[in-house]
């Protein structure tokens, strides 16, 4: 978010300097970092920018299609981490989400090792943990390993 705001401000500054050949325009522009920090503080003060709400929304949007490790990785890219209860809930729901996804895609347990490997790669590519992938592909979706 900070980088996007910084880039937008730089584009705005570039447009302002191109629009006016006057050197005084550059002197009147504030430094980007304090302006960005002030804007972020203002958005947080109005509760328009809320990390916890972003985490909940991201979990809700991704949990049906992706496993908990992949969701945690995506949140880490944003500099965030789910709290302990969210992480536990994500992990607990992994098996059910993987089972539902696998059923929609394949529907039945295969006896062919190549097909099982293909199904495992599919679920692993979606970010599900290896123990969940093995259980679902081997037909033990509801049972622990």
Is the same domain home to 127 and 65?
yes
Least confident of 37-41, 73-77, 113-117: 37-41
Is the same domain home to 32 and 79?
no
Is the same domain home to 10 and 37?
yes
Half-sphere exposure of 56 (CA within 13 A, CB side): 6
Is the same domain home to 28 and 69?
no
Tokens, residue 21: 């050949």
Is the same domain home to 98 and 113?
yes
pTM of the model: 0.66
Measured at the alpha carbon of residue 125, what is the angle toward residues 112 and 73, in degrees to the nearest 5? 155
User: Using CA atoms, how far apart are residues 38 and 46, in angstroms rounded to an integer?
Assistant: 12
Is the same domain home to 134 and 68?
yes
For 91, the enclosing helix (H) or strand (E) is helix 84-105
Confidence of residue 145 (pLDDT cuts 50, 70, 90): very low
The pLDDT value recorded for residue 128 is: 96
CA dihedral 113, 119, 120, 123 (to 10 degrees): 180
Is the same domain home to 41 and 74?
no
Is the same domain home to 28 and 57?
no
Query: What does the longest C-alpha to C-alpha distance in the chain come to?
Result: 75
The pLDDT value recorded for residue 15 is: 73
Tokens, residue 17: 């300097």
CB 143 within 8 Å of CB 108? no
Is the same domain home to 34 and 100?
no
Is the same domain home to 42 and 85?
no
Is the same domain home to 121 and 136?
yes
User: Using CA atoms, how far apart are residues 131 and 46, in angstroms rounded to an integer?
Assistant: 43
Domain span including residue 137? 50-145
CB 116 within 8 Å of CB 125? no
What's the structural domain count of the chain?
2
């Amino acid at each position: 978010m900070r980088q996007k705001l910084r880039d937008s401000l730089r584009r705005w500054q570039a447009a302002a300097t191109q629009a006016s050949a006057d050197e005084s325009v550059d002197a009147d522009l504030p430094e980007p970092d304090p302006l960005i920090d002030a804007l972020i503080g203002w958005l947080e003060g109005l509760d328009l920018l809320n990390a916890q709400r972003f985490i909940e929304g991201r979990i809700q949007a991704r949990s049906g299609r992706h496993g908990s490790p992949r969701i945690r990785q995506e949140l880490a890219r944003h500099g965030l981490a789910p709290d302990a209860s969210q992480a536990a809930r994500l992990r607990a729901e992994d098996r059910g989400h993987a089972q539902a996804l696998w059923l929609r895609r394949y529907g039945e347990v295969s006896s062919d090792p190549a097909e099982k490997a293909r199904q495992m790669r599919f679920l692993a590519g979606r970010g599900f943990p290896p123990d969940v992938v093995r259980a679902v592909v081997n037909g033990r979706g509801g049972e622990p390993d």
